[in-house]
Structure 1
Amino acid sequence: MKLSGNTIFITGGGSGIGRALAEALHRRGNRVIIAGRRRAQLDEVVAANPGMASVVLDVADAASVKRVAAQLIADYPELNVLINNAGIMLPDEADGALDDTLLENTVTTNFVGPLRLTAALVEHLKTKQDAVIAYTTSVLAFVPLAPTAVYSATKAALHSYVLSQRFLLKESGVRVLEIAPPWVRTDLMNSREAEAAMPLDAFIEETMAVLGTDTDEVLVENAKALRANPGVGEHDLVNGFNAQMTPILRSGAY
């Protein structure tokens, strides 16, 4: 991906990976527009990064997606990069009764929302040079974390969709990228102080280096072993991973 001179729209840009990625791209000389549900949070990011812009967007709301997509095309006609980063991660109980609100919110925010937003912008992106559609998935798309089974499943579904969309757009000039982070120190699952998680600044630095190559999957070194998991031996790794991580997450001792 070209790392400068773009007009970039990033969802979930008010905090965590989204904010850090937006700021890194802003420093590279891109026109960056961030989106999120909370105006105050967006205003804080924009104030800290003069020249950045923002728009309130709830990716779980179809009307909000439609309105913002139209606004972006009108206000930023040079828009050529879409980064679908917004997501929520909450613990669930795949071995018991699932909370229906959690189920619907997670699936709509993490999976349906990015598909709707991309569909609303893809014809515009086809007309632009160096166009990119990127999705933030997770290594949990490849090695599901049992206490967050719904979240993991949404990321696996998004990975599958990316493969199809990349194939269908291969002659269009629009590149389709997947960013699959490992465990990173953010507010997701209260991981900001988790010693086992990758520091956010280190993740962004390595991600930016990989993003600037011609790869379709943006993986830091910490993510590669889990990305390589699918195959005939995947059950052993999944079971071992969850035997290690489930007690830690359920105790909150991280």
Structure 2
Amino acid sequence: MNLQGKTILITGGASGIGLEAARQFHGLGNKVIITGRNQAKLDAAKQLLPGIVAIQSDAAKAEDAQALFDQVKTLGGIDILYNNAGVGVPPLNLGNAHHSHVAGALYEMEVNYIGVIRLNNLFMEQLKKRPEAAIINTTSILSIVPSVLEATYSASKAALSSYTKTLRSHLKVLNSTVRVYELLPPLVDTDMVADRPDKKISPEKLVNALIKGMQNDQFTIRVGDTKIVSVLNRLLPNTVYGIINPKKAFDALR
């Protein structure tokens, strides 16, 4: 795919992976629109990248999604929708009844899964009319093997991964030229996991891999340890589950 001269909408674009994606896509000569809940972070992103457009929008809210679509439409529409926004809740042992289990799972699913479908539905007809268009969904290494510390987050990403694969097939049935990319990161060095000592890759390295994959029309883009986990999980699922979930993870649930 040609990644120059496009208009790209990036949800969750005010920090972390989204901000790095905005920087790199803008550097290639694209018009970039970012969204986020936090206006202060959006303002900081605008100062860092003066050429981008920043719109406050909460991926969990249907009314924000509609308002975002209406505003983007007045700006001329988009060629690429990058569903990057994601949330995670603190770990709790699901075996112990707790009122926050449902609330946390609903929040993660609303942002990480339902919010993606909502935006895709809003922008789909616009994207289908573009000569070259794409949707990018960020799933996770945890969509392959779940983490006991991020149980419902893992489930939300597994749901998104399944949806992404079937969306690609459905568009093919319609003879649509809209490309659908799935980005599967390992643990990425962002504020969301700043307190974790585990191995991480940089947002820059992740977005580099995303762009290279899109340019080569690699529709499933596995980065870093996700490549190894994807292969080994087919051969040694119990071993890989143990690698993703070492003893210290179970100890944290006690």
**Same-fold status (TM-score > 0.5):** yes
Partner of 1:95: 95
Secondary structure of 1:228's counterpart equals helix
1:201 paired with 2:200, answer no
Residue of structure 1 in register with 2:176 after alignment = 172
Q: CA deviation at 1:244?
A: 5.1
**Deviation for aligned residue 1:173:** 0.7
- Normalised by the length of structure 1, the TM-score is 0.91
Tell me the CA shift for residue 187 of structure 1.
1.1
- Percent identity, please: 32
Q: What is the CA distance between 1:247 and its match in structure 2?
A: 5.6
CA distance in 1, matches of 2:141, 2:202: 16
Superposition RMSD in Å: 2.0
| Partner of residue 157, structure 2 | 155
Q: CA deviation at 1:182?
A: 0.5
Q: What's the CA shift string for 1:149-180, capped at 9, x where partnerless?
A: 00000000000001110001122110011011
Comparing 147-156 with 221-230, greater Cα deviation is found at 221-230
Q: Does 1:238 align with 2:241?
A: yes
Q: Distance in 1 between matches of 2:207 and 2:92?
A: 28
- The equivalent of 2:47 in structure 1 is 47
Which secondary structure state, in structure 1, belongs to the residue aligned with residue 55 of structure 2? strand
Deviates more, 1:116-125 or 1:219-228: 219-228
Deviation at 1:40, TM superposition (A): 1.2
Determine which of 209, 219, 223 is the counterpart of 1:220.
223
Q: Give the one of 183, 189, 193 matched to 1:185.
A: 189
Matches within 5 A, 1:56-135: 56-77=56-77, 79-90=78-89, 91-98=91-98, 99=100, 100-135=102-137
Q: Is the 8 A contact 2:233 2:240 kept in 1?
A: no
In 2 relative to 1, CA 190–92 (structure 1 residues): closer, same or farther, beyond 3 Å?
farther
- Mapped to 2, the partners of 1:219 and 1:201 lie a distance apart of 15
Q: Is the 8 A contact 1:12 1:87 kept in 2?
A: yes
Task: Give 1:243's aligned amino acid.
Answer: P
TM-aligned CA deviation for residue 195 of structure 1: 5.5
SS in 2 for 1:169: helix
Q: Is the 8 A contact 2:213 2:219 kept in 1?
A: no
Which secondary structure does the structure 1 equivalent of 2:168 belong to? helix
Q: What SS is found at the alignment partner of 2:246?
A: helix
- Alignment CA distance shift 1:71-1:27 (3 Å): same
Report deviation, 1:189. Answer: 2.9
- What SS does the aligned partner of 2:103 have? helix
Contact map agreement 1:143 1:229 (CA 8 A) in 2:
no
SS of the equivalent of 1:167 reads: helix
Segments of 5+ residues of structure 2 without an aligned counterpart are none
Amino acid at match of 2:166: S
Question: Could you tell me how far apart the structure 1 residues matched to 2:16 and 2:248 are?
Answer: 22
On the 8 A contact 1:36/1:58 being kept in 2, the answer is yes
| Cα 1:156/1:229, change in 2 over 3 Å | farther
The letter for the 2-side match of 1:67 is: A
Q: Which residue of 1 aligns with 2:34?
A: 34
Shift in Å at residue 196 of structure 1? 1.3
Identify unmatched segments of 5+ residues in structure 1: none
Mapping for residues 133-152 of structure 1, pairs under 5 Å: 133-152=135-154
Superposition deviation, residue 229 in structure 1? 4.7
Amino acid at match of 2:3: L
Work out whether residues 94 and 146 of structure 1, in 8 Å CA contact, stay in contact via their aligned partners in 2: no
How many residue pairs get matched?
248
Question: Are residues 144 and 245 of structure 1, via their aligned partners in 2, closer, same or farther at CA, if it must alter by over 3 Å?
Answer: farther
Do the aligned residues in 2 keep the contact of 1:142 with 1:229 (CA within 8 Å)?
no
Equivalences for residues 19-30 of structure 1 within 5 A: 19-30=19-30
Between the aligned partners of 2:10 and 2:75, the Cα distance in structure 1 is 15
Q: Normalising by the residue count of structure 2, what TM-score does the alignment of the two structures yield?
A: 0.91
Q: Alpha carbons of 1:186 and 1:132: their partners in 2 closer, same or farther (altered >3 Å)?
A: same
